[in-house]
Structure formats: C-alpha cells, structure tokens
Amino acid sequence: MSLWSIAQSPLMFGGDLPSNDAYTLSLITNDEVLAVDQHGAHGSAFAEGGDSVVWTADSPRAGTRYVAVFNVGNAGPIDIRVDWAALNLPEKCVLRDLWVRKELSAVQGGYTFHVAPHASGLYSVRGEAKK
C-alpha cells in the first residue's frame, strides 16, 4: 500500500468489507496515506541500492515531500539514509510517520530509517518553520 500510494496508483480493495477487523479498516481508511495517493505528484524511485529502495513524491504543501522506504531483502533489518538536501529540503525538517499518524521529531540533515525485511515506511518531510 505504501508503494501504490506514493506512485499515485489506483487503489482497489477486493476483500469482504463487512468482515474486516479494526486493524485492516484502519489501514484502508488512513486519510494521511490516502492523501499521498490522491494529492501527491511525480512519485518515482529516488534511490536504489542493495536491498534498499527509496521513492519520493511531491506534496501539494510547499516545502513538503513524501518519502517511502522499502527493504526488499530477506536478511535482517537494514538502515536506509535519506538526506534532506538531496530532496531539496532545508537542513532542519519535521518527519511524520503517515501510517501511525505521528510526528517523529524535527531532524537535522536527514534521517536513517531502520527497516525490517520486506517492510516499508511512508513519511512526510517538511521544512521546519523559521522562528
């Protein structure tokens, strides 16, 4: 779902909606993830190497980008580094995990994502407002 959303692919569900559990319902109705699919633009692979893949997309909000990280390998967890400068973002940005709907923190320079095998993450990254 992270890949389909950042690639702005059509989203379809083929399950039995009345028998969904709460967790499945929370996944398919996550408004922040759905916003990436519906309002993001130019989603594409940004970096690939070994078992790591990074996709990015533009956000309709100025100074914000969407980032998806993927561990496509079978071995243990890997670290995937994304530098803000490579995304044309300011040195200090606020990172938000879209799946858990929570801001992680203001992060200087970039972030290293720790990703389990066959796992992914979907985030928004926005420049921190100047004070």
Predicted local distance difference test score (pLDDT) of residue 129: 61
pLDDT score, position 131: 53
Cα separation of 76 and 106, whole Å? 28
User: What's the mean per-residue pLDDT of the chain?
Assistant: 93
What is the structure's pLDDT at 118? 96
Is 84 a residue whose pLDDT tops 80?
yes
- The architecture that CATH gives domain 2-127 is Sandwich (2.60)
Spatial contact of 54 and 90, defined as CB atoms under 8 Å apart? no
Where along the chain do its domains lie? 2-127
Output the pLDDT for position 63.
85
Is it the case that residue 130 has pLDDT exceeding 80?
Answer: no
> What is the Cα–Cα distance from 61 to 114, expressed in whole angstroms?
27
d(C-alpha 44, C-alpha 57), whole Å: 7
Q: How far is CA 4 from the centre of its chain?
A: 11
What 21-27 contacts at long range (C-beta under 8 Å, 24+ apart), as own/partner pairs, is 27/1
Q: Give the pLDDT band of residue 128 (cuts 50, 70, 90).
A: confident
**According to the model, what pLDDT value does residue 34 have?**
95
pLDDT-derived band at 100, boundaries 50, 70, 90 = very high
Give pLDDT tens digits for 8-63. 999 888 888 889 999 888 888 999 999 999 999 999 999 999 999 999 999 998 88
CA distances from 103 to 2, 51, 97, 98, 117 (A): 18, 26, 6, 8, 24
